Amino acid sequence: MSNIFEESKTRAFIKNEGVDYNTTVTTQELPLEDFAENLQIDVISLNDEDITFDVKGIDPAFANALRRIFISEIPTMAIEKVNMWQNTSVIPDEVLAHRMGLVPIKVDPRLFEVKGKNEDHNENNCVQFNLHIKCTRKNTPEAQNRENDILPENDEALFNHASVYTSDMKWVPIGTQEEKFKNTPIRPVYEDILLSKMRPGQEIEMELMCEKGVGKTHAKWSPVSTAYYRLLPDIALKEEISGEEAQELKSKCPMNVFDIEDTGKLFVKNSRVCTTCRECIRDEKFVDKIKLAKVKNHFEFTVESVGMYKPEEIVTEGIKILKEKVKCWKNTMKGMEEDEE
């Protein structure tokens, strides 16, 4: 009994139906020393686009604060002002401008400042792109024959610039920017984002001004497509299962959490992949045989970068911002204490 009680402090149990009332975490006081000692971060996977890492020894409030910062408080650069000089394409100006805003820009935002309300665009708060493109007919007999125009699938073969891509955006350095970003030229993260389709005679000319901002203001400034975590599943067998039941249970799990030993005994092969579909404990006969739980203080984070930052940078930037926030709070609190005195 006490065992379960003890376990329920660290584990959230999953029932086969109804509401799992036990998952609410009671935040205990966490002395800094304990926190520092228990905190453990393991990177599970990392590539250009996303990172998955485990964080052990924190509570949801902490984890969530990080997650929220990743999504909405890490500043990036995004197109905010568009000067549309010419747009004879079928996409209306506003729609095109909105599309431009969502294009991720590969530039280190830490080198820029947030543009003040009354400030003009300058080399410290702005990155400028120009996009000037005109669709023309290619000089081939097929292209000159207008009857071919209606076939949408071969427009690339007939026309120059039938599709406008982000690669057509030209960076226009302001002031010393050219020098400053000599080694890391500013460009859109992806070259092949389709911006618009055009037909001969249509033209787009615009100036795109990037500003620094955060995801809170508009989702285009969010450095991540999403950042999330989940609690680590903890699956164990309460009693030995073998034979037909073992087979049944093994086949029930689409994620292959269970496997069968040579002896015919069921064992938990890989509990991490569990998606909590609960199919294994749906059947009454297995309810008491399997312990399906989540580790309350073990978070598996995933951060999917849009591309302005490397995924691991987002994590460190996020932690920095969290630190700043804590510092800020600390100062405020200090001030309040002094006031009281």
Partner 1 sequence: MDPDNDNSKEITQEDAWALIKAYFQQHGLVSQQISSFDRFLSYTIQDIVAENSIMSIVPEKQYAPGSNENQDRDLRYEIELGQVKVNEKPRFKEYDDKYNVIFPNEARLRNLTYQTSVYVEVTKRDKVTNSKGVEEVLEQSKEKEVYIGKVPVMIKSAFCSLNRIENEYEMKECFFDQGGYFIINGSEKVLVAQERMANNFVYVFQKKQPSKFSWVAEIRSQVDASNRPPNQFSVKLYSKGQRRAGGSFSGGKVFGQTICATVHYINQDIPIAILFRALNCISDKEILDKICYDQKDSHMMEAMRASLEEGTPFLKQEDALSWIGSRGAAGAVSREERIRHARDILKKHFLPHISTEDHCESQKAYFVGYMVHRLLSAHLGRATEDDRDHYGKKRLDMAGALLGMLFRNIFRRYVKEAGRVLKNCADRGQPLNISKAFKKDVITDGLRYALATGNWGTNAAGEVSKTGVSQVLNRLTFASSLSHLRRLNTPLQKSGKLTKPRQLHNTHWGMICPAETPEGQACGLVKNLSLMAFVSVGSTAERLKEILENYGTENLVSIEPENIHNATKVFVNGCWIGIHNDAEDLISNIREMRRSLFIPKEISIVRDITNREIKFYTDQGRVQRPLFIVKNNKVLLKKSHVERLQSTIKSQAMDFNEALAEGLVEFLDVEEEETSMIAMNVEDLQNRQYCSTYTHCEIHPSMILGVCASIIPFPDHNQSPRNTYQSAMGKQAMGVYTSNYQLRMDTLAHVLYYPQKPLVITRALDFLHFKELPSGCNAIVAIACYTGYNQEDSVIMNQSAIDRGFFRSAYYRTYCDTAKSGEHFEIPDVTVVGRRHGDYTKLDMDGLIFPGKNVLGDDIIIGKTALPRRTFERDMEYGNVIKKDDSTALRHSEKGIIDSVILTSNEDGDNFTKIKMRAIRIPQIGDKFASRHGQKGTIGMTYRQEDMPFTQEGITPDIIVNPHAIPSRMTIGHLVECLASKVACFQGKEGDATPFQDVTVEHISNDLHSLGYQKRGNEVMYNGWTGKRLDTRIFLGPTYYQRLKHMVDDKIHARSRGPLQILTRQPTEGRSRHGGLRFGEMERDCMVSHGAARFLKERLYDVSDCYSVHVCRECGLMAQANVRQQKYLCKGCQNNTDICQVGLPYACKLLFQELMAMQIAPRMLTND
Distances (CA, A) of 220 to 110, 111, 168, 259, 266: 17, 19, 20, 45, 49
Choice between 61 and 336, CB closer to partner 1: 61
Query: Per CB under 8 A, does 202 bind partner 1?
Result: no
Per CB under 8 A, the list member of 67, 212, 250, 298 interacting with partner 1 is 67
Backbone angles phi, psi at 321, to 5 degrees: -65, -40
- Sign, CA torsion 211/214/220/226: positive
Confirm or reject binding of residue 11 to partner 1 (CB under 8 A). no
Query: What length does the chain have?
Result: 341
| Cβ–Cβ under 8 Å, residues 11 and 234 | yes
Q: If 0-12 CB within 10 Å is exposed, 13-18 middle and 19+ buried, where does residue 11 land?
A: buried
What is the closest distance, in whole angstroms, from the C-beta atom of residue 337 to partner 1 in the complex?
A: 27
Q: Count residues binding partner 1 (CB under 8 A).
A: 47
Q: Does 71 bind partner 1 (CB under 8 A)?
A: yes
Question: Are the CB atoms for 63 and 55 separated by under 8 Å?
Answer: yes
DSSP summary character for residue 143: H
Q: Is 156 in the site for partner 1 (CB under 8 A)?
A: no
The 8-class DSSP code of residue 169 comes to -
**Span 73-112, contacts to partner 1 by CB under 8 A:** 90, 92-95, 98-99, 102
Q: Confirm or reject binding of residue 9 to partner 1 (CB under 8 A).
A: no
Q: Which is nearer to partner 1, 94 or 324 (CB)?
A: 94
Q: Please identify, using beta-carbon distances, which residue of 129 and 301 lies nearer to partner 1.
A: 301
Burial 65-82 (b: 16+ CB within 10 A, else e): bbbebbbbbbbbbbbbbb
* Site membership for partner 1, residue 185 (CB under 8 A): no
| Binding segment toward partner 1, per CB under 8 A, in 167-175, 221-229, 240-248, 258-266 | 221-229
For partner 1, the binding residue among 157, 219, 236, 333 (CB under 8 A) is 219
Residues engaged in binding partner 1 (CB under 8 A): 12, 19-21, 23-25, 60-61, 63-65, 67-68, 71-72, 90, 92-95, 98-99, 102, 150, 215-216, 218-220, 222, 226-231, 254-255, 275-279, 294, 302, 304
